[in-house]
Amino acid sequence: MGQAYRHPALKGLKEQQARFAPRERRLEQIDRAEKLLGEIEIARQYPWEYLVFRITGYRPDNAPALILEGGDVRHDLGLFVEDLSETVSQKAELASEPVLTVEAVGKRFNVSTRTVTRWRRQGLVARRFVIGGRTKVGFLESSVSRFVDEHREQVLRGSRFKQLTDTERDEIVRRARRMAVVGGPGRLTEIARRIARKIDRATETVRATLKTYDREHPDRAIFETIAPPLDDAAKSEIYKQFRRGKSAEVLAIQFDRTRSSVYRVLNEMRARKILEVKLEAMEHASFDDAAMIAEILGPIPDPADGKAVRKARPPKGLPPYLASLYEVPLLAREQELHLFRKMNFLKHQANRLRIAMDPTKAKSTDLDQIERLQEEALAVKNQIIRANLRLVVSIAKRHVGPSNNFFELVSDGNMSLIRAVEKFDFSRGNKFSTYASWAIMKNFARTIPEENYRRDRFVTGHEEMFEAAADTRADEHEYESSLKRMQDAVKGMLGRLDDRERYIIINRYGLGGASEQTLEFIGRELKITKERVRQIESRAQDKLRKIAGESKLDLPML
């Protein structure tokens, strides 16, 4: 159906079962998933552990405290059933009950195949069967019966459907013109919905009738001022509000657009954001050789001499951050070459998709693939950086002096290392440590004299005045009391958030001794996308702002 999973958890479970579960086991899980789908209530929430158990019969190890919305579960379970059924290649005649094709369902209920496709989006569970030697969409008799029972009025209305008569078209136009005069001409979708309820027709049928009328009668158009092309500011606003948690349905009504046009805007803005990211790749002849792809993307090779690289023992007395660097083993030359080639190949692949992409026609699948490639390239890049952080420390030690802070040098050197990873041409066969050392030392040679000059330039000669000046700040006891009151207030505010919102806020801002974490890290912990984490964070911040306003508190993170 061209739909995407709303939550990555069920998509991941489908891929896991498709890869590892035996065929008979998958058939059983398809049945269990469809049975579970019939029990899911949209208004409820469901623990991930419960869903996995109902589908597979086992409870996942180390199951996260993940809660899914009922609406998302129903949507994704339908995709799970259809996608997993495609992997078993079951013949329709061997199914446990009669199988109906799309055409057979349409004929039974006197509806078009397009209507059946719409029913699938609304909950009619489809599977993939081998019919006449080809894999096609089919429906179990029980699946169709269950959908009909749950949507009886809709099915009956579809069965009674007939082409609009001229009288009905005139009535729709008359009603729309009257409503537009009363409520304003910019509400086509809302007016079409109201008319559809009154005349017992589909909203899209009424909407299409009105758009056709306006197109054929421009001099008498009802909605001639409706829906001008969206400018960049409006598109940015739609994208911003969607990221804050507003649904596409709400945005469609707010901006008087169809839901599909809202999704097109979201894809366009997402594509623009992707294209704004600078992505440079060191090209190599092997990137265009299909036979080399498996090797390039394969696991990191062992050292050529067959000896594993040992972890170095950190010198005594090092701070925890510096000591932790010695836990990452150094890379052998062939391992280094493999990682640089892999990182640049992933960038090369992402760039090919980016170049071919038109933001105004961008598809979610293409955007997902580009983002996946970029994230994989970033993961490889971070692996290279971690293996070379010790190099920065060793060079910083040689440049430290009375006027230079060691940790500032390390921080500055880390930035030089990151830039060196981006610029290093692995195809020349040189060792990266040689190139990186040169880049770091060159940066130190430039920045250290500049820093010393600025320090000397802004010495006032009146430092003794500052040393003798009275300290008008609050005393230490008052400061600690104030801090404790603030901490207690923050704890009380966090207690008014739900579990997932509280977890995200605490870990995003390092509250209560927790370390600050990225959206991607939190998403992996909660088994949700980083975009969903951003939406929940925004919702939680709105709640905290309201609570803080009531308590007259000023929180910097808000």
Measuring CA to CA, which residue among 489, 491, 503 is closest to residue 540?
A: 503
| 212, 251: one domain | no
| 312, 378: one domain | yes
* Mean pLDDT lowest among 284-293, 328-337, 454-463, 534-543: 454-463
pTM confidence score = 0.48
Q: Which of 199, 220, 241 is the last residue of a domain?
A: 220
Instruction: Determine phi and psi for 135, rounding to 5 degrees.
Output: -80, 120
| 318, 426: one domain | yes
User: Which structure tokens are listed for 296?
Assistant: 């390039």
Percent of residues, the chain, with pLDDT higher than 90? 20
For residue 549, with 0-12 CB atoms within 10 Å meaning exposed, 13-18 middle and 19 or more buried, which class applies?
Answer: exposed
Which is more confident, 475 or 542?
A: 542
The chain-wide mean pLDDT, for the chain, equals: 81
Q: Is 379 a domain residue?
A: yes
Q: Is 448 a domain residue?
A: yes
| 255, 195: one domain | no
Q: To 5 degrees, how large is the angle CA 197–CA 126–CA 141?
A: 90
- The reported pLDDT for the residue numbered 474 is 41
Secondary structure letter of residue 91 according to DSSP: B
Tallying the residues shown for the chain, one arrives at: 558
Q: Is 227 a domain residue?
A: no
Domain that holds residue 492: 476-551
Scan for tokens 């005393």, then name that residue.
475
Catalogue the E-assigned strands of 179-254. none
Q: Is the Cβ–Cβ distance between 505 and 497 less than 8 Å?
A: yes
Q: Which of 457, 492, 522 is the last residue of a domain?
A: 457
Q: Cα–Cα distance between 237 and 552 in angstroms, integer? A: 29
Query: DSSP for 296-328?
Result: HTSPPPPPTTSPPPPPPPPPTT--HHHHHHTTS
Task: With cut-offs at 50, 70 and 90, classify the pLDDT of residue 307.
Answer: low
Which is more confident, 534 or 270?
A: 270
- The reported pLDDT for the residue numbered 482 is 52
| 332, 423: one domain | yes
Describe the strand order of the beta sheet including 99-101 as a list of residue ranges: 99-101, 134-140, 127-131
- Asked if pLDDT for residue 409 goes beyond 60, the answer is yes
- The reported pLDDT for the residue numbered 470 is 43
* Mean pLDDT lowest among 35-49, 197-211, 354-368, 416-430: 197-211
Percent of residues, the chain, with pLDDT higher than 70? 83
For residue 543, with 0-12 CB atoms within 10 Å meaning exposed, 13-18 middle and 19 or more buried, which class applies?
Answer: middle
How confident is the model over 385-393, as a mean pLDDT? 89
Q: Cα–Cα distance between 507 and 511 in angstroms, integer? A: 7
Task: With cut-offs at 50, 70 and 90, classify the pLDDT of residue 456.
Answer: low
Q: Is 1 a domain residue?
A: no
- The reported pLDDT for the residue numbered 381 is 93
Instruction: Determine phi and psi for 305, rounding to 5 degrees.
Output: -80, 0
- Asked if pLDDT for residue 469 goes beyond 50, the answer is no
| 208, 245: one domain | no
Residues 169-182 pLDDT 10s: 889 999 988 888 77
How confident is the model over 92-100, as a mean pLDDT? 90
Which is more confident, 453 or 297?
A: 297
Q: Which residues contact 279 (CB under 8 A, 6 or more apart)?
A: 347, 350, 351, 354, 374
Q: Is 463 a domain residue?
A: no
130: helix, strand or coil: strand
Q: Which residues contact 13 (CB under 8 A, 6 or more apart)?
A: 52, 55, 56, 80
| 263, 289: one domain | no
Which is more confident, 222 or 343?
A: 343
* Highest mean pLDDT, choosing among 98-112, 320-334, 447-461: 98-112
* Dihedral sign computed on CA atoms, order 270, 271, 272, 278: positive
Catalogue the E-assigned strands of 79-133. 99-101, 127-131
Q: Cα–Cα distance between 481 and 471 in angstroms, integer? A: 19
Q: Is 297 a domain residue?
A: yes
- The reported pLDDT for the residue numbered 481 is 56
| 170, 154: one domain | no
User: Which structure tokens are listed for 550?
Assistant: 């009531």
- Asked if pLDDT for residue 442 goes beyond 80, the answer is yes
Measuring CA to CA, which residue among 16, 110, 2, 108 is closest to residue 61?
A: 16
| 391, 289: one domain | yes
Which value, in Å, is the radius of gyration of the alpha carbons in the chain? 31
How confident is the model over 524-537, as a mean pLDDT? 86
Q: Is 464 a domain residue?
A: no
Which is more confident, 551 or 203?
A: 203
Count structural domains, the chain. Answer: 5
- The reported pLDDT for the residue numbered 140 is 92
Residues 262-302 pLDDT 10s: 899 999 999 999 998 888 899 898 998 888 888 998 888 88
- The reported pLDDT for the residue numbered 479 is 39
Q: What's 292's domain CATH number?
A: 1.20.120.1810
Residues 346-379 pLDDT 10s: 999 999 999 988 998 898 888 999 999 999 999 9
Q: Cα–Cα distance between 119 and 140 in angstroms, integer? A: 14
Residues 42-91 pLDDT 10s: 889 998 889 999 999 887 765 567 888 888 898 899 999 999 999 998 99
| 399, 518: one domain | no
| 186, 143: one domain | no
Q: Is 466 a domain residue?
A: no
Residue 13's Cβ-side half-sphere holds a number of Cα atoms within 13 Å equal to 27
| 485, 403: one domain | no
Q: Is the Cβ–Cβ distance between 79 and 5 less than 8 Å?
A: yes
Q: What's 494's domain CATH number?
A: 1.10.10.10
- The reported pLDDT for the residue numbered 337 is 92
How far, in whole angstroms, is CA 494 from its chain's centroid? 25
For residue 5, with 0-12 CB atoms within 10 Å meaning exposed, 13-18 middle and 19 or more buried, which class applies?
Answer: middle
- The reported pLDDT for the residue numbered 557 is 47
